[in-house]
């Protein structure tokens, strides 16, 4: 993972944010419950019938002082309306470690205002400051809005995740 000094470099406690009426702030491991809540919202919006109980375990596995997290707040309230959280991935072709977007979420009432674009810009700038030459993310094949956003920002498909559902045979 990134070293704590790697994580903190270039991350002020609060940074100016390009969207009027909103402010950007750096998160921490103390934000675990809010990260879980945001990830549950993300997956529930994509498929309200899918269980989300596994998300807390995922957050516990990856949220650390070494995984950058930024929140977007409305200036008039302390409750965040958006976030981006980065982890680390390995490029399977080159072996290069690089930032990976674990979560990007903007509350429905605050979408289409440029918040997601601004959050990705912050993450990309941080990645470049750390000397990384790439940043990756995963988007579900049925999430056309997210795909359009990412492609408009220069993200290109590189691989396909294929899945086959297996029927358990007697618990095996």
Condensed to tens digits (0 to 9), the pLDDT of residues 25-62 reads 999 999 999 999 999 999 999 888 988 889 999 999 99
Residue with more model confidence, 7 or 159: 159
According to CATH, what is the number of the domain 4-152? 3.40.630.30
Helix (H, G, I), strand (E, B) or coil at 72: strand
Does residue 64 carry a pLDDT above 80?
yes
pLDDT at res. 16: 58
Condensed to tens digits (0 to 9), the pLDDT of residues 75-97 reads 777 789 999 999 999 999 999 99
Measure the CA–CA gap between 139 and 124, rounded to whole angstroms: 17
Task: List CB contacts of 44: < 8 A, sequence separation 6 or more.
Answer: 50, 52
pLDDT at res. 77: 74
pLDDT at res. 79: 85
pLDDT at res. 11: 52
pLDDT at res. 7: 42
Does residue 169 carry a pLDDT above 80?
no
Q: In what order do the strands lie in the sheet with 69-74?
A: 14-15, 22-26, 69-74, 80-90, 97-106, 136-137
């Amino acid at each position: 993972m990134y070293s704590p000094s790697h994580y903190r470099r270039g991350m002020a406690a609060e940074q100016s944010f390009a969207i009027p009426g909103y402010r950007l702030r750096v998160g921490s491991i103390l934000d675990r419950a809010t990260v879980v809540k945001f990830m549950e919202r993300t997956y529930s919006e994509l498929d309200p019938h899918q269980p989300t109980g596994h998300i807390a375990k995922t957050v516990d596995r990856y949220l650390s002082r070494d995984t950058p997290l930024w929140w977007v707040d409305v200036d008039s309230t302390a409750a965040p309306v958006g976030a981006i959280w980065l982890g680390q991935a390995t490029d399977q072709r080159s072996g290069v470690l690089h930032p990976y977007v674990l979560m990007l979420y903007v509350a429905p009432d605050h979408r289409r205002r440029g918040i997601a674009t601004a959050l990705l810009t912050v993450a990309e700038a941080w990645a470049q400051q750390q000397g990384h030459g790439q940043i990756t993310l995963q988007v579900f094949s049925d999430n056309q809005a997210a795909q359009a956003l990412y492609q408009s920002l220069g993200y290109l498909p590189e691989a396909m995740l294929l899945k086959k559902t297996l029927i358990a045979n007697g618990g095996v």
